[in-house]
Amino acid sequence: MPFVDVPLDPSMTPNASSASDAKSAPIANDDTPLTPPFSKHVELIPTSDTLCITHRPGPPEIVQVTAGAEENEYYGVSNHGRENSPNGLGILGRQGASPRPPSTTRIDTTVRSPTSPKQPVDILDSLPTIAYDANKQVFEVRSQINDFLVQDLDTSRLNAIHGILWMAGRPLNARQLHRYVMLDIRILRTEQTDMHVLRVSNRMFVKPLPAYLLSYDFWKKYLCGPPTGQSEDDRALHKRACGLLMSYVWLIRSELDMKIAKDEHLVPKDVNWHWWKAFVADLLADGHLDANSLKQCDMRYHYGELRLSRINTIYRIRFFHTHFIRGYLYGYNRYVVFFQRNFGWMLVIFVYFSLVLSAMQVGVSVPPLQDNVAFQRASYGFVVFSIVLVAAIVGIIGLLFVAIFAINTILSIRHSLLQSRERRKLAKAKKGEKHA
Protein backbone atom coordinates (compact mmCIF):
# COMPACT_ATOMS: atom_id res chain seq x y z
CA MET A 1 0.00 0.00 0.00
CA PRO A 2 1.60 3.28 -1.03
CA PHE A 3 1.86 6.32 1.18
CA VAL A 4 -1.08 8.71 1.13
CA ASP A 5 0.07 11.76 -0.77
CA VAL A 6 -1.75 14.67 0.86
CA PRO A 7 -1.44 17.83 -1.26
CA LEU A 8 0.30 20.74 0.37
CA ASP A 9 -1.81 23.79 0.94
CA PRO A 10 -2.11 26.65 3.43
CA SER A 11 -4.24 24.55 5.77
CA MET A 12 -1.32 22.16 6.40
CA THR A 13 0.30 24.38 8.99
CA PRO A 14 1.96 22.75 12.01
CA ASN A 15 -0.88 23.69 14.35
CA ALA A 16 -3.58 26.25 14.76
CA SER A 17 -1.52 28.62 16.86
CA SER A 18 1.42 28.52 14.47
CA ALA A 19 -0.86 29.17 11.53
CA SER A 20 -2.47 32.18 13.16
CA ASP A 21 0.90 33.51 14.26
CA ALA A 22 2.26 33.15 10.73
CA LYS A 23 -0.79 34.72 9.19
CA SER A 24 -0.48 37.73 11.46
CA ALA A 25 3.29 37.86 11.08
CA PRO A 26 5.04 40.71 12.87
CA ILE A 27 4.18 43.75 10.82
CA ALA A 28 5.28 47.19 11.76
CA ASN A 29 2.51 49.56 12.71
CA ASP A 30 2.35 51.60 9.55
CA ASP A 31 -0.70 53.56 8.49
CA THR A 32 0.77 54.44 5.10
CA PRO A 33 -1.73 53.56 2.36
CA LEU A 34 -0.72 50.55 0.31
CA THR A 35 0.23 51.25 -3.31
CA PRO A 36 1.62 49.20 -6.20
CA PRO A 37 5.43 48.95 -6.00
CA PHE A 38 5.88 50.31 -9.53
CA SER A 39 4.48 52.99 -11.80
CA LYS A 40 1.60 52.61 -14.22
CA HIS A 41 3.68 53.33 -17.31
CA VAL A 42 5.99 50.30 -16.81
CA GLU A 43 3.32 47.65 -16.23
CA LEU A 44 3.23 44.58 -18.45
CA ILE A 45 0.38 44.36 -20.93
CA PRO A 46 -0.11 40.66 -21.78
CA THR A 47 -0.88 39.87 -25.40
CA SER A 48 -2.08 36.93 -27.43
CA ASP A 49 -1.43 35.80 -30.97
CA THR A 50 -3.48 32.61 -30.85
CA LEU A 51 -6.41 31.71 -33.10
CA CYS A 52 -9.74 33.20 -32.10
CA ILE A 53 -12.67 30.77 -32.30
CA THR A 54 -16.15 32.30 -32.44
CA HIS A 55 -19.54 30.74 -33.04
CA ARG A 56 -21.48 32.10 -35.99
CA PRO A 57 -25.28 32.21 -35.90
CA GLY A 58 -27.26 30.70 -38.75
CA PRO A 59 -27.29 27.35 -40.48
CA PRO A 60 -24.23 25.12 -40.32
CA GLU A 61 -21.71 25.46 -43.09
CA ILE A 62 -19.99 22.79 -45.13
CA VAL A 63 -16.27 22.70 -44.43
CA GLN A 64 -13.85 20.65 -46.47
CA VAL A 65 -10.93 19.37 -44.41
CA THR A 66 -7.82 18.98 -46.51
CA ALA A 67 -4.67 17.12 -45.54
CA GLY A 68 -1.61 19.33 -46.00
CA ALA A 69 1.86 18.62 -47.27
CA GLU A 70 2.91 17.34 -43.86
CA GLU A 71 1.17 14.50 -42.12
CA ASN A 72 0.01 16.61 -39.15
CA GLU A 73 -1.19 19.69 -41.11
CA TYR A 74 -4.86 20.31 -41.82
CA TYR A 75 -6.56 23.13 -43.70
CA GLY A 76 -10.21 24.08 -43.38
CA VAL A 77 -11.83 25.49 -46.53
CA SER A 78 -14.87 27.66 -45.78
CA ASN A 79 -16.87 30.35 -47.52
CA HIS A 80 -17.32 32.19 -44.23
CA GLY A 81 -13.58 32.14 -43.62
CA ARG A 82 -12.56 33.72 -46.93
CA GLU A 83 -12.72 37.30 -45.75
CA ASN A 84 -10.73 36.49 -42.59
CA SER A 85 -8.12 34.12 -43.97
CA PRO A 86 -4.60 35.36 -44.77
CA ASN A 87 -4.84 34.44 -48.45
CA GLY A 88 -8.51 35.31 -49.01
CA LEU A 89 -9.33 31.73 -49.97
CA GLY A 90 -10.77 30.62 -46.67
CA ILE A 91 -7.82 28.31 -46.10
CA LEU A 92 -6.85 28.13 -42.46
CA GLY A 93 -3.76 26.60 -40.94
CA ARG A 94 -0.06 26.70 -41.58
CA GLN A 95 0.90 28.72 -44.64
CA GLY A 96 3.52 27.82 -47.19
CA ALA A 97 2.42 24.25 -47.90
CA SER A 98 0.31 23.29 -50.92
CA PRO A 99 -2.85 21.43 -49.89
CA ARG A 100 -3.75 18.08 -51.27
CA PRO A 101 -7.17 17.33 -52.79
CA PRO A 102 -9.99 17.28 -50.24
CA SER A 103 -10.25 14.00 -48.41
CA THR A 104 -13.23 14.52 -46.06
CA THR A 105 -16.18 16.81 -45.60
CA ARG A 106 -17.75 17.70 -42.26
CA ILE A 107 -20.27 20.13 -40.72
CA ASP A 108 -18.77 23.07 -38.82
CA THR A 109 -20.56 25.96 -37.12
CA THR A 110 -17.47 27.90 -36.06
CA VAL A 111 -15.43 30.59 -37.73
CA ARG A 112 -11.71 30.54 -37.14
CA SER A 113 -9.71 33.66 -37.80
CA PRO A 114 -6.27 34.68 -36.64
CA THR A 115 -6.29 37.67 -34.31
CA SER A 116 -4.05 40.60 -34.99
CA PRO A 117 -0.52 40.18 -33.62
CA LYS A 118 0.09 41.28 -30.03
CA GLN A 119 -3.55 41.74 -29.18
CA PRO A 120 -4.02 42.73 -25.49
CA VAL A 121 -5.78 40.20 -23.29
CA ASP A 122 -7.36 40.41 -19.84
CA ILE A 123 -4.83 39.88 -17.03
CA LEU A 124 -7.40 37.68 -15.28
CA ASP A 125 -6.95 35.15 -18.10
CA SER A 126 -3.58 34.29 -16.56
CA LEU A 127 -5.23 33.03 -13.37
CA PRO A 128 -5.90 29.31 -12.83
CA THR A 129 -9.34 27.84 -13.42
CA ILE A 130 -10.15 26.46 -9.97
CA ALA A 131 -8.67 26.30 -6.48
CA TYR A 132 -9.52 24.83 -3.08
CA ASP A 133 -10.61 26.71 0.00
CA ALA A 134 -9.65 25.90 3.58
CA ASN A 135 -12.37 23.22 3.70
CA LYS A 136 -11.06 21.55 0.53
CA GLN A 137 -14.07 22.77 -1.45
CA VAL A 138 -13.56 23.68 -5.10
CA PHE A 139 -14.22 27.25 -6.18
CA GLU A 140 -13.74 29.15 -9.42
CA VAL A 141 -10.77 31.47 -9.10
CA ARG A 142 -12.26 34.39 -11.01
CA SER A 143 -15.24 34.45 -8.65
CA GLN A 144 -13.08 34.53 -5.49
CA ILE A 145 -9.83 36.20 -6.49
CA ASN A 146 -9.00 37.48 -3.01
CA ASP A 147 -9.26 33.98 -1.50
CA PHE A 148 -7.09 32.64 -4.29
CA LEU A 149 -4.39 35.27 -3.72
CA VAL A 150 -4.20 34.47 0.00
CA GLN A 151 -3.48 30.84 -0.92
CA ASP A 152 -1.26 31.52 -3.92
CA LEU A 153 1.11 33.85 -2.05
CA ASP A 154 1.00 32.03 1.29
CA THR A 155 4.31 31.67 3.17
CA SER A 156 2.93 30.93 6.64
CA ARG A 157 4.64 27.54 6.94
CA LEU A 158 8.06 29.15 6.58
CA ASN A 159 7.11 32.10 8.76
CA ALA A 160 6.16 29.64 11.52
CA ILE A 161 9.86 28.72 11.83
CA HIS A 162 11.32 32.10 10.88
CA GLY A 163 13.28 32.35 14.14
CA ILE A 164 15.39 29.31 13.25
CA LEU A 165 15.54 29.66 9.46
CA TRP A 166 19.24 30.46 9.90
CA MET A 167 19.69 26.69 10.18
CA ALA A 168 18.43 26.26 6.60
CA GLY A 169 20.20 29.19 4.95
CA ARG A 170 21.81 32.56 5.44
CA PRO A 171 19.88 35.85 5.23
CA LEU A 172 21.30 36.67 1.81
CA ASN A 173 19.77 37.32 -1.58
CA ALA A 174 19.22 34.38 -3.89
CA ARG A 175 21.86 33.88 -6.54
CA GLN A 176 21.42 34.69 -10.21
CA LEU A 177 19.85 32.01 -12.38
CA HIS A 178 22.99 31.47 -14.44
CA ARG A 179 24.91 30.69 -11.23
CA TYR A 180 22.58 27.78 -10.55
CA VAL A 181 23.14 26.56 -14.10
CA MET A 182 26.91 26.76 -13.50
CA LEU A 183 26.47 24.61 -10.37
CA ASP A 184 24.43 22.08 -12.40
CA ILE A 185 21.31 22.72 -10.34
CA ARG A 186 18.13 21.73 -12.11
CA ILE A 187 15.15 24.08 -11.82
CA LEU A 188 11.81 22.50 -10.95
CA ARG A 189 8.76 24.71 -11.46
CA THR A 190 6.16 24.78 -8.69
CA GLU A 191 2.98 26.74 -8.00
CA GLN A 192 3.56 26.75 -4.23
CA THR A 193 5.02 30.01 -2.98
CA ASP A 194 6.27 28.37 0.22
CA MET A 195 8.44 26.11 -1.97
CA HIS A 196 9.93 29.02 -3.93
CA VAL A 197 13.79 28.99 -4.03
CA LEU A 198 14.02 25.88 -1.84
CA ARG A 199 16.87 23.60 -2.81
CA VAL A 200 17.40 19.88 -2.32
CA SER A 201 20.54 18.21 -3.65
CA ASN A 202 21.00 19.39 -7.26
CA ARG A 203 17.40 20.53 -7.69
CA MET A 204 15.73 23.81 -6.79
CA PHE A 205 12.04 24.66 -6.73
CA VAL A 206 11.10 27.98 -8.35
CA LYS A 207 7.62 29.47 -8.63
CA PRO A 208 7.10 31.12 -12.04
CA LEU A 209 6.48 34.84 -11.81
CA PRO A 210 2.69 35.38 -11.99
CA ALA A 211 1.63 37.78 -14.71
CA TYR A 212 -0.79 39.49 -12.34
CA LEU A 213 2.14 40.80 -10.27
CA LEU A 214 3.20 42.87 -13.27
CA SER A 215 -0.17 44.58 -13.70
CA TYR A 216 -0.63 47.97 -12.03
CA ASP A 217 -4.42 47.80 -12.13
CA PHE A 218 -4.42 44.33 -10.57
CA TRP A 219 -2.29 45.59 -7.68
CA LYS A 220 -4.63 48.52 -7.12
CA LYS A 221 -7.75 46.38 -7.12
CA TYR A 222 -6.68 43.17 -5.37
CA LEU A 223 -3.31 43.55 -3.63
CA CYS A 224 -3.50 47.01 -2.05
CA GLY A 225 -6.71 46.52 -0.11
CA PRO A 226 -9.47 49.10 0.11
CA PRO A 227 -8.51 52.79 -0.15
CA THR A 228 -9.35 53.26 3.53
CA GLY A 229 -9.37 50.90 6.50
CA GLN A 230 -6.64 48.56 5.30
CA SER A 231 -6.29 45.61 7.67
CA GLU A 232 -3.22 43.74 8.84
CA ASP A 233 -4.18 40.90 6.50
CA ASP A 234 -4.17 43.35 3.57
CA ARG A 235 -0.68 44.50 4.53
CA ALA A 236 0.52 40.91 4.97
CA LEU A 237 -0.75 39.99 1.49
CA HIS A 238 0.88 43.10 0.02
CA LYS A 239 4.21 42.20 1.63
CA ARG A 240 4.11 38.66 0.32
CA ALA A 241 3.44 39.90 -3.20
CA CYS A 242 6.30 42.42 -2.92
CA GLY A 243 8.59 39.69 -1.61
CA LEU A 244 7.90 37.34 -4.52
CA LEU A 245 8.52 40.20 -6.93
CA MET A 246 11.78 41.06 -5.17
CA SER A 247 12.96 37.45 -5.41
CA TYR A 248 12.92 37.79 -9.21
CA VAL A 249 14.97 40.95 -8.96
CA TRP A 250 17.60 38.73 -7.35
CA LEU A 251 17.22 35.87 -9.81
CA ILE A 252 17.21 37.90 -13.05
CA ARG A 253 20.03 40.46 -13.06
CA SER A 254 21.51 40.02 -16.53
CA GLU A 255 20.40 39.25 -20.06
CA LEU A 256 21.72 35.72 -19.62
CA ASP A 257 19.49 35.26 -16.58
CA MET A 258 16.53 36.47 -18.61
CA LYS A 259 17.26 33.93 -21.35
CA ILE A 260 17.36 31.13 -18.79
CA ALA A 261 14.11 32.37 -17.24
CA LYS A 262 12.45 32.38 -20.66
CA ASP A 263 13.76 28.91 -21.49
CA GLU A 264 12.51 27.58 -18.15
CA HIS A 265 9.14 29.36 -18.56
CA LEU A 266 9.61 31.29 -15.32
CA VAL A 267 8.36 34.64 -16.66
CA PRO A 268 5.38 35.58 -18.86
CA LYS A 269 6.04 35.28 -22.58
CA ASP A 270 5.71 39.03 -23.16
CA VAL A 271 8.59 39.87 -20.78
CA ASN A 272 11.87 40.76 -22.48
CA TRP A 273 15.21 42.03 -21.22
CA HIS A 274 14.77 45.69 -22.15
CA TRP A 275 11.35 45.89 -20.54
CA TRP A 276 12.64 44.10 -17.44
CA LYS A 277 15.48 46.61 -17.00
CA ALA A 278 13.05 49.52 -17.09
CA PHE A 279 10.65 47.69 -14.77
CA VAL A 280 13.31 46.94 -12.14
CA ALA A 281 14.64 50.49 -12.32
CA ASP A 282 11.16 51.82 -11.55
CA LEU A 283 10.58 49.11 -8.93
CA LEU A 284 13.62 50.19 -6.92
CA ALA A 285 13.14 53.92 -7.48
CA ASP A 286 11.24 56.44 -5.34
CA GLY A 287 11.08 54.11 -2.39
CA HIS A 288 8.77 51.59 -4.06
CA LEU A 289 10.85 48.63 -2.84
CA ASP A 290 13.96 48.92 -0.67
CA ALA A 291 16.32 46.20 -1.88
CA ASN A 292 18.54 46.56 1.21
CA SER A 293 16.17 46.79 4.18
CA LEU A 294 13.40 44.73 2.50
CA LYS A 295 10.93 46.48 4.80
CA GLN A 296 8.16 46.19 2.20
CA CYS A 297 8.67 42.41 1.85
CA ASP A 298 7.39 39.48 3.87
CA MET A 299 9.93 38.19 6.38
CA ARG A 300 10.34 34.91 4.47
CA TYR A 301 12.12 36.92 1.74
CA HIS A 302 14.70 38.18 4.21
CA TYR A 303 16.27 34.84 3.29
CA GLY A 304 17.02 33.80 -0.25
CA GLU A 305 17.83 30.19 -1.04
CA LEU A 306 16.91 27.69 1.69
CA ARG A 307 17.81 24.01 2.09
CA LEU A 308 14.74 21.82 1.99
CA SER A 309 16.40 18.91 3.80
CA ARG A 310 17.12 21.09 6.83
CA ILE A 311 13.62 22.56 6.80
CA ASN A 312 12.28 19.00 6.83
CA THR A 313 14.47 18.26 9.86
CA ILE A 314 13.30 21.42 11.64
CA TYR A 315 9.66 20.47 11.11
CA ARG A 316 10.19 16.90 12.27
CA ILE A 317 11.85 18.05 15.49
CA ARG A 318 9.90 21.19 16.35
CA PHE A 319 6.50 19.77 15.37
CA PHE A 320 7.26 16.20 16.37
CA HIS A 321 3.69 15.10 17.08
CA THR A 322 2.27 16.23 13.73
CA HIS A 323 5.18 16.31 11.27
CA PHE A 324 7.65 13.66 12.41
CA ILE A 325 6.84 11.40 9.44
CA ARG A 326 5.93 13.92 6.77
CA GLY A 327 8.21 16.81 7.67
CA TYR A 328 7.80 19.93 5.52
CA LEU A 329 7.61 18.30 2.09
CA TYR A 330 6.50 14.70 1.93
CA GLY A 331 7.97 13.40 -1.29
CA TYR A 332 7.56 9.64 -0.95
CA ASN A 333 4.99 7.48 -2.72
CA ARG A 334 6.60 4.08 -2.06
CA TYR A 335 8.02 2.45 1.06
CA VAL A 336 11.15 1.36 -0.78
CA VAL A 337 12.12 4.94 -1.62
CA PHE A 338 11.42 6.06 1.95
CA PHE A 339 13.72 3.47 3.52
CA GLN A 340 16.42 3.89 0.88
CA ARG A 341 16.71 7.63 1.50
CA ASN A 342 16.44 7.52 5.28
CA PHE A 343 18.35 4.36 6.15
CA GLY A 344 20.87 3.99 3.32
CA TRP A 345 23.57 5.47 5.56
CA MET A 346 23.34 2.39 7.79
CA LEU A 347 24.92 0.28 5.07
CA VAL A 348 28.08 2.38 5.36
CA ILE A 349 28.20 1.71 9.12
CA PHE A 350 27.74 -2.01 8.57
CA VAL A 351 30.63 -2.03 6.08
CA TYR A 352 32.98 -0.44 8.63
CA PHE A 353 31.83 -2.83 11.33
CA SER A 354 32.52 -5.77 8.99
CA LEU A 355 36.06 -4.53 8.36
CA VAL A 356 36.75 -4.13 12.08
CA LEU A 357 35.33 -7.54 12.92
CA SER A 358 37.39 -9.17 10.15
CA ALA A 359 40.53 -7.49 11.45
CA MET A 360 39.81 -8.68 15.01
CA GLN A 361 39.22 -12.19 13.78
CA VAL A 362 42.66 -12.16 12.16
CA GLY A 363 44.19 -10.56 15.27
CA VAL A 364 43.07 -13.26 17.68
CA SER A 365 44.64 -15.93 15.48
CA VAL A 366 48.19 -14.51 15.35
CA PRO A 367 50.71 -15.13 18.20
CA PRO A 368 51.33 -11.50 19.31
CA LEU A 369 47.65 -10.90 20.02
CA GLN A 370 46.50 -14.42 20.63
CA ASP A 371 47.54 -14.33 24.29
CA ASN A 372 46.76 -10.61 24.86
CA VAL A 373 43.97 -10.47 27.47
CA ALA A 374 43.08 -6.83 26.81
CA PHE A 375 42.70 -7.46 23.08
CA GLN A 376 40.59 -10.55 23.73
CA ARG A 377 38.24 -8.58 25.97
CA ALA A 378 38.00 -5.71 23.50
CA SER A 379 37.20 -8.12 20.68
CA TYR A 380 34.57 -9.86 22.79
CA GLY A 381 32.91 -6.56 23.73
CA PHE A 382 32.88 -5.26 20.17
CA VAL A 383 31.38 -8.48 18.84
CA VAL A 384 28.56 -8.38 21.40
CA PHE A 385 27.99 -4.65 20.71
CA SER A 386 27.77 -5.30 16.96
CA ILE A 387 25.20 -8.07 17.40
CA VAL A 388 23.05 -5.98 19.74
CA LEU A 389 23.28 -2.92 17.47
CA VAL A 390 22.23 -4.81 14.35
CA ALA A 391 19.31 -6.44 16.18
CA ALA A 392 18.19 -3.06 17.56
CA ILE A 393 18.35 -1.36 14.17
CA VAL A 394 16.40 -4.15 12.48
CA GLY A 395 13.81 -4.01 15.26
CA ILE A 396 13.45 -0.21 15.01
CA ILE A 397 13.05 -0.34 11.23
CA GLY A 398 10.43 -3.07 11.58
CA LEU A 399 8.47 -1.10 14.19
CA LEU A 400 8.71 2.05 12.10
CA PHE A 401 7.42 0.23 9.03
CA VAL A 402 4.46 -1.16 10.98
CA ALA A 403 3.70 2.28 12.46
CA ILE A 404 3.86 4.06 9.11
CA PHE A 405 1.75 1.39 7.43
CA ALA A 406 -0.87 1.58 10.19
CA ILE A 407 -0.96 5.40 10.15
CA ASN A 408 -1.35 5.56 6.36
CA THR A 409 -4.03 2.87 6.40
CA ILE A 410 -6.03 4.69 9.08
CA LEU A 411 -5.64 8.03 7.30
CA SER A 412 -6.71 6.51 3.98
CA ILE A 413 -9.84 4.96 5.47
CA ARG A 414 -10.68 8.10 7.44
CA HIS A 415 -10.16 10.36 4.44
CA SER A 416 -12.29 8.12 2.23
CA LEU A 417 -15.15 8.09 4.75
CA LEU A 418 -15.02 11.85 5.30
CA GLN A 419 -14.99 12.54 1.56
CA SER A 420 -17.93 10.21 0.92
CA ARG A 421 -19.91 11.74 3.76
CA GLU A 422 -19.17 15.29 2.61
CA ARG A 423 -20.13 14.54 -0.99
CA ARG A 424 -23.40 12.95 0.08
CA LYS A 425 -24.14 15.99 2.22
CA LEU A 426 -23.41 18.37 -0.66
CA ALA A 427 -25.50 16.31 -3.07
CA LYS A 428 -28.41 16.32 -0.61
CA ALA A 429 -28.13 20.09 -0.13
CA LYS A 430 -28.06 20.68 -3.90
CA LYS A 431 -31.09 18.45 -4.32
CA GLY A 432 -32.97 20.40 -1.66
CA GLU A 433 -32.12 23.71 -3.32
CA LYS A 434 -33.34 22.39 -6.66
CA HIS A 435 -36.70 21.31 -5.26
CA ALA A 436 -37.06 24.61 -3.38
Domain termination residue (choose one: 114, 144, 167): 114
Query: At residue 128, does pLDDT exceed 60?
Result: yes
For residues 268 and 365, state if they share a domain.
no
For residues 37 and 55, state if they share a domain.
no
Domain termination residue (choose one: 290, 321, 352): 321
For residues 181 and 298, state if they share a domain.
yes
Would you give the DSSP letter of residue 106?
Answer: E
- Asked if residues 246 and 291 have their Cβ atoms less than 8 Å apart, the reply is yes
Q: Report how far residue 195's alpha carbon sits from residue 204's, in angstroms, rounded to the nearest whole number.
A: 9
- Domain membership flag for residue 326: no
- Asked if residues 202 and 18 have their Cβ atoms less than 8 Å apart, the reply is no
Provide the residue range defining the domain that includes 165. 16-43+124-321
For residues 177 and 295, state if they share a domain.
yes
Q: Provide the CA 232 distance to its chain's centre, in angstroms.
A: 26
- Domain membership flag for residue 330: no
**Cα-only R_g, the chain:** 30
Helices (H), 68-220: 145-152, 156-159, 177-182, 216-218
Give the model confidence (pLDDT) of 294-324 as tens digits.
999 999 999 999 999 999 999 999 998 888 8
- Domain membership flag for residue 26: yes
Range scoring the smallest mean pLDDT among 30-34, 111-115, 333-337, 424-428: 111-115
For residues 39 and 129, state if they share a domain.
yes
For residues 264 and 128, state if they share a domain.
yes
Range scoring the smallest mean pLDDT among 77-91, 215-229, 373-387, 412-426: 77-91
- Residue 290: its pLDDT value, please? 92
- Residue 333: its pLDDT value, please? 65
Torsion angle, alpha carbons of 147, 152, 153, 154, to 10: 80
For residues 135 and 276, state if they share a domain.
yes
- Residue 314: its pLDDT value, please? 95
The burial of 209, by beta-carbon neighbours within 10 Å (0-12 exposed, 13-18 middle, 19 or more buried), is given as buried
For residues 296 and 400, state if they share a domain.
no
- Domain membership flag for residue 273: yes
Give the model confidence (pLDDT) of 156-195 as tens digits.
999 999 999 999 999 999 999 999 999 999 999 999 999 9
Phi, psi of 364 (to 5 degrees): -75, -10
- Residue 72: its pLDDT value, please? 39
Which three-class secondary structure string do you get for 128-145? CCEEECCCCCEEEHHHCH
Q: Which residues pair with 119 in a beta bridge?
A: 48
- Residue 49: its pLDDT value, please? 57
286: region left, alpha or beta (phi > 0 left; psi from -120 to 50 alpha): left
- Residue 436: its pLDDT value, please? 67
Query: At residue 432, does pLDDT exceed 50?
Result: yes
Using 50, 70 and 90 to split pLDDT, how confident is the model at 257? very high
Q: In 170-314, at which residue ranges do the beta strands (DSSP E only) sit? A: 186-189, 198-200, 203-206, 306-307
Range scoring the smallest mean pLDDT among 226-235, 258-267, 271-280: 226-235
| More confidently predicted of 203 and 428 | 203
- Residue 373: its pLDDT value, please? 87
The number of CA neighbours under 13 Å toward the Cβ of 428 is: 6
Query: At residue 227, does pLDDT exceed 60?
Result: yes
Query: At residue 61, does pLDDT exceed 80?
Result: no
Q: Provide the CA 89 distance to its chain's centre, in angstroms.
A: 46
Query: At residue 218, does pLDDT exceed 50?
Result: yes
The percent of residues above 70 in pLDDT, for the chain, comes to: 74
Q: Report how far residue 85's alpha carbon sits from residue 77's, in angstroms, rounded to the nearest whole number.
A: 10
The percent of residues above 90 in pLDDT, for the chain, comes to: 45
**Crossing angle of the two packed helices 345-363 and 373-435, in degrees rounded to 10:** 160
Query: At residue 83, does pLDDT exceed 90?
Result: no
- Residue 179: its pLDDT value, please? 96
Please tell me the total count of domains within the chain.
3
Using 50, 70 and 90 to split pLDDT, how confident is the model at 155? very high
Q: Report how far residue 213's alpha carbon sits from residue 218's, in angstroms, rounded to the nearest whole number.
A: 7
- Domain membership flag for residue 352: yes
Query: At residue 108, does pLDDT exceed 90?
Result: no
- Domain membership flag for residue 161: yes
Average pLDDT over residues 367-377: 86
For residues 30 and 81, state if they share a domain.
no
- Residue 29: its pLDDT value, please? 52
- Domain membership flag for residue 86: yes
For residues 359 and 298, state if they share a domain.
no
Q: Report how far residue 121's alpha carbon sits from residue 114's, in angstroms, rounded to the nearest whole number.
A: 14
Domain termination residue (choose one: 280, 295, 321): 321
For residues 352 and 223, state if they share a domain.
no
Q: Report how far residue 197's alpha carbon sits from residue 83's, in angstroms, rounded to the nearest whole number.
A: 50
- Domain membership flag for residue 306: yes
Residue 212 CB coordination number (10 Å): 22
- Residue 419: its pLDDT value, please? 86
For residues 77 and 202, state if they share a domain.
no
| More confidently predicted of 164 and 365 | 164
Picking from 22, 265, 257, the residue whose alpha carbon sits closest to that of residue 161 is 22
